[in-house]
Amino acid sequence: MARLASRSTAPSSRAALPATRRPAVAGDEVEEAVLLDLVEGACRAGAGVPKALDAVGVAVGGPVGSDLRRAARTLGLGAPWEAAWSGAGAGVTSVARSLRPAWEDGVPPGSLLRGAAEAARRDRDARAAEAAARLGVRLVVPLGLCHLPAFVLVGLVPVLGSMATTTLGA
C-alpha cells in the first residue's frame, strides 16, 4: 500500500524533464505573416531586436530559425545591419526589411512589423484568388468535354430517335 501511495505522489519522470519542441522538419515552413507576428510579439513583450530575433529563431527552428539566430548573434556583437543579414535565406527578408528602420533609426518596431504582416497576408490572399481563378478557367475545358457528350447521348439522342420513329413510322 505504501508503495502505491509513493508512486502516486512522486513526480513523474516526464514532468521533471524540460519541455522540448519537436525538431523542425524540412517542409515545416513558417508563413511570412506569422513570422512577422512572432517577432512583433517578442518586441511588444519588451525584448530588443536581437533578443526578439533569437527567441523567435529558437521557437521556429529550421533554416529560418537559424538565419534569425545568426542575425541576432551578429547584431549583438555590433556588426552592421547588412553584415548581420548577409547569407540569410529568402524566408527572413521581410523581417530584415521591416526591422531595419527600428535598428538603424530607433523607430518602434511594432507598427513596422504589423504593417509588413498585413501586407504579406494581402499578397497571400491575392495569390490565392488568382490561383483559384486560373483553376476555374482550367476546369472549363475538361468539364465541357465530359458533359457535352453526355448531354448529347442522354438528352438529344433519345428525343431525336423518338422523333425519327414517329415521323418515319407515320
Residue 166 has a pLDDT of 87
3-class secondary structure, 13: helix
Choose between 125 and 136: higher pLDDT.
Answer: 125
Q: What is the C-alpha to C-alpha distance for residues 78 and 83, in angstroms, rounded to an integer?
A: 10
> Exposure of 149 by Cβ count < 10 A (0-12 exposed, 13-18 middle, 19+ buried)?
exposed
Q: What is the C-alpha to C-alpha distance for residues 43 and 51, in angstroms, rounded to an integer?
A: 8
Please say if the pLDDT value at position 18 is more than 60.
no
Consecutive H or E run containing 140: helix 109-151
Q: Which among 117, 97, 99 is positioned nearest to 36, based on CA atoms?
A: 117
Q: What is the C-alpha to C-alpha distance for residues 61 and 23, in angstroms, rounded to an integer?
A: 7
Backbone angles phi, psi at 21, to 5 degrees: -90, 145
CA atoms within 13 A on the CB side of 9: 6
* Ranges 47-56, 107-116, 130-139, 145-154: which has the least confidence: 145-154
Choose between 91 and 35: higher pLDDT.
Answer: 35
Residue 50 has a pLDDT of 95
pTM for this entry = 0.68
Query: Are the C-beta atoms of residues 61 and 24 closer than 8 Å to each other?
Result: yes
Residue-wise pLDDT tens digits, 56-101: 999 999 999 999 999 999 999 999 999 999 989 888 999 999 999 9
Please report, for the chain, the start and end positions of each structural domain, with discontinuous segments joined by +.
32-130
Mean pLDDT of 131-156: 87
